[in-house]
């Protein structure tokens, strides 16, 4: 079938082809459709928290403390009478923005360095890769802990710490892709046609590295979120009263014994659902991006 052109009445843009394929994939792969939906819902809720949350996150109401989930408070209240649902929604702002921010930062810097490493090879590559190896020798979480402890507890520092631990992954990924693609004939063709080196990199090579990077990024966002939550769980990074899923889960853990199960469960569930959703999207994306490159299937 290699030589039969696709039957098409009018030319389609890459975008319309992409969207159609996305739709076909989602239709077949309902877990990822659900995952995508959940992420969008959570992200929108976090973005529009001020309008969506039924209560203010810090609004205390001692009379309504430690209430079981009810119609007034869908997910119950904590010891200060604060509505858990609202806190979870506002906490989403912190969690999702750190997850997204750290991933974006790691991706941007890691890809750039990785591309340079793959392009120049030789000494540059050698030095960069040894630095990467040193960073990767540490368990990622321990490293994140160490950096946060050293820099101090703030959202920014946590973001930087997580970004640093994730950076090597993108670096290696892009370096590997560049090493592969530079041998392809279209890289040769780009040279023969007369492209200067920078154009070969930015117009021809990097855009073709995107698929694996995108897949990695969606998967990694799950890890970033988990790391964020874990750091706050053990007391680093975000401190109360700033609401964040990890620290809320830690607080809630104290109340399991006394029977207020919702304080621990719902923030924990928020983490689980989001991480799971990111993973499912990552799988679906990997599934979707590969065959497209080879043709419709």
Partner 1 sequence: MTAVIDVQDLAVRFSTDHGEVEAVDGATFDVRQGEVLGLVGESGSGKSVTATALLRLIRQPGRIVHGRITFDGKDLCSLGEGELAHIRGAQIAMVFQTPRTALNPLITVGEHVARLYALHAGLSKAESRKRAIDMLRLVGIPEPERRARQYPHQFSGGMCQRVMIAMALATAPRLLIADEPTTGLDVSTAARILDLLRDLGQKTGASILLITHDLGVVATTCHRVAVMHAGQIVEIAPVRALFARPAHPYTRALVRSIPRVDREITMEPIPGSVPSLLNPPPGCRYAGRCPWVEDRCRQGKPGMTGLSADHLVACFAVENGRAAL
Partner 2 sequence: MAVPLCEVEDLRVQFPLRGLEAWLRSLKDGKAPVVRAVDGVSFVVEAGSTLGLVGESGCGKSTVARSLVRLLEPTSGSIRLDGAELTTLGNDAFEKMRPHLQMVFQDPTASLNPQLSVRRTVGEPLKLHTSLTVSERRARTDAILEEVGLGADFAERYPHELSGGQRQRVNIARALITSPRLVVLDEPTSALDVSLRARIILLLEELRERHGLSYLFISHDLATVRYLASRVAVMYLGVIVEEATTAELFAHPVHPYTRALLAAVPVPDPDARRDPFVLSGEIPSPIDIPTGCRLRARCPLARPVCAEPVPVREVAPGHKVACHLAEEESR
Tokens of 175: 């370096």
Closer CB to partner 1, 1 or 192, in the complex:
1
Q: Choose from partner 2, partner 1, none: what does 62 bind? Cβ within 5-8 Å by kind.
A: none
Phi-psi region of 42 (alpha: psi -120 to 50; beta: other; left: phi over 0): alpha
Closer CB to partner 2, 147 or 173, in the complex:
173
- Smallest CA-to-CA distance from 74 within 93, 90, 55 is with 55
At CB < 8 A and 24+ separation, what contacts does 80-83 make?
82/55, 82/57, 82/58, 83/53, 83/54, 83/55, 83/57, 83/59
Least separation in angstroms between residue 2's CB and partner 1 is 6
Q: Choose from partner 2, partner 1, none: what does 11 bind? Cβ within 5-8 Å by kind.
A: partner 2
Q: Choose from partner 2, partner 1, none: what does 188 bind? Cβ within 5-8 Å by kind.
A: partner 2
Cα–Cα distance list, 261 to 34, 77, 268, 269 (Å):
26, 11, 11, 12
What's the rounded Cα separation, in Å, for the pair 258 and 230?
A: 23
**Contact call for residue 7 and partner 1 (CB under 8 A):** yes
Tokens of 20: 């159609």
Window 267 to 296, contacts with partner 1 (CB under 8 A): 296
Burial 150-161 (b: 16+ CB within 10 A, else e): eeeeebebbbbb
**Contact call for residue 134 and partner 2 (CB under 8 A):** no
Least separation in angstroms between residue 4's CB and partner 1 is 6
Please pick, from the candidates 12, 16, 19, 24, the single residue that binds partner 1 as defined by CB under 8 A.
24
With contacts defined by CB under 8 A, name the span among 2-10, 46-54, 195-203, 245-253 that binds partner 1.
Answer: 2-10
Q: Choose from partner 1, partner 2, none: what does 191 bind? Cβ within 5-8 Å by kind.
A: partner 2
CA 22 to chain centre: 20
**Contact call for residue 297 and partner 2 (CB under 8 A):** no
**Contact call for residue 19 and partner 1 (CB under 8 A):** no
How does DSSP classify residue 228? Answer: H
Q: Do 218 and 296 meet the contact criterion of CB atoms below 8 Å apart?
A: no
Q: Which residues bind partner 1 (CB under 8 A)?
A: 1-5, 7, 24, 296-297
Contact set with partner 2 (CB under 8 A) = 2-6, 8, 10-14, 17, 184-186, 188-196, 199, 203-204, 207-208, 292-296
């Amino acid at each position: 079938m290699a030589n039969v052109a696709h039957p098409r009445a009018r030319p389609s843009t890459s975008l319309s082809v992409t969207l159609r394929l996305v739709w076909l994939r989602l239709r077949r792969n309902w877990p990822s459709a659900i995952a995508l939906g959940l992420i969008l819902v959570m992200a929108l809720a976090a973005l529009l928290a001020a309008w969506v949350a039924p209560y203010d996150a810090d609004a205390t109401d001692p009379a309504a403390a430690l209430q079981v989930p009810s119609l007034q408070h869908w997910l119950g209240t904590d010891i200060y009478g604060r509505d858990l649902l609202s806190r979870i929604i506002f906490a989403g702002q912190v969690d999702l923005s750190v997850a997204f921010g750290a991933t974006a930062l790691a991706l941007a810097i890691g890809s750039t360095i990785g591309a340079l490493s793959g392009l120049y090879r030789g000494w540059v590559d050698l030095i960069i890769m040894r630095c990467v190896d040193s960073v990767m020798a540490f368990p990622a979480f321990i490293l994140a802990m160490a950096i946060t402890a050293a820099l101090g507890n703030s959202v920014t520092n946590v973001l930087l710490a997580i970004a640093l631990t994730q950076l090597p992954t993108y670096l290696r990924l892009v370096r590997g892709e560049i090493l592969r693609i530079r041998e392809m004939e279209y890289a040769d063709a780009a040279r023969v046609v007369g492209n200067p080196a920078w154009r070969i990199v930015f117009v021809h090579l990097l855009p073709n590295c995107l698929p694996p990077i995108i897949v990695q990024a969606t998967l990694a966002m799950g890890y970033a979120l988990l790391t964020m939550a874990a750091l706050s769980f053990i007391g680093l990074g975000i401190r109360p009263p700033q609401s964040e899923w990890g620290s809320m889960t830690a607080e809630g853990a104290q109340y399991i014994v006394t029977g207020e199960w919702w304080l621990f469960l719902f923030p924990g569930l928020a983490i689980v659902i989001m991480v799971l959703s990111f993973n499912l999207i990552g799988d679906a994306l990997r599934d979707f991006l590969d065959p497209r490159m080879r043709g419709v299937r």
